[in-house]
């Protein structure tokens, strides 16, 4: 307290630093993604099946295909 009255600004900062609560370090845990084998078909396979279905169902001409 005497540092306030004697205008000892450096001492005042040191005193405030001692009285201030210390910051806590928080550890951030980033989840890791594990790659698993997908059983879903590839888009290219699904597209070929869809196109074949549409051609057969709607009798699409070559131009529309």
Residue range 9-58, pLDDT digits in tens: 888 888 888 888 777 888 888 888 777 777 888 898 899 888 888 888 88
Task: Please give the pLDDT value at position 1.
Answer: 54
What is the spatial distance between Cα 53 and Cα 60, in angstroms, rounded to a whole number?
A: 10
Decide: 17 and 9 in contact? Cβ < 8 Å: no
Higher pLDDT, 53 or 6: 53
What is the spatial distance between Cα 4 and Cα 12, in angstroms, rounded to a whole number?
A: 6
33-52 per-residue burial string, b: 16 or more CB within 10 A, e: under 16: eeeeeeeeeeeeeeeeeeee
């Amino acid at each position: 307290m005497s540092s306030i009255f004697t205008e000892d600004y450096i001492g005042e900062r040191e005193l405030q630093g001692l009285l201030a609560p210390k910051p806590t370090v928080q550890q951030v845990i980033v989840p890791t993604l594990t790659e698993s084998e997908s059983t879903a078909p590839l888009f290219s396979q699904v597209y070929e099946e869809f196109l074949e279905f549409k051609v057969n169902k709607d009798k699409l001409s070559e131009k529309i295909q």
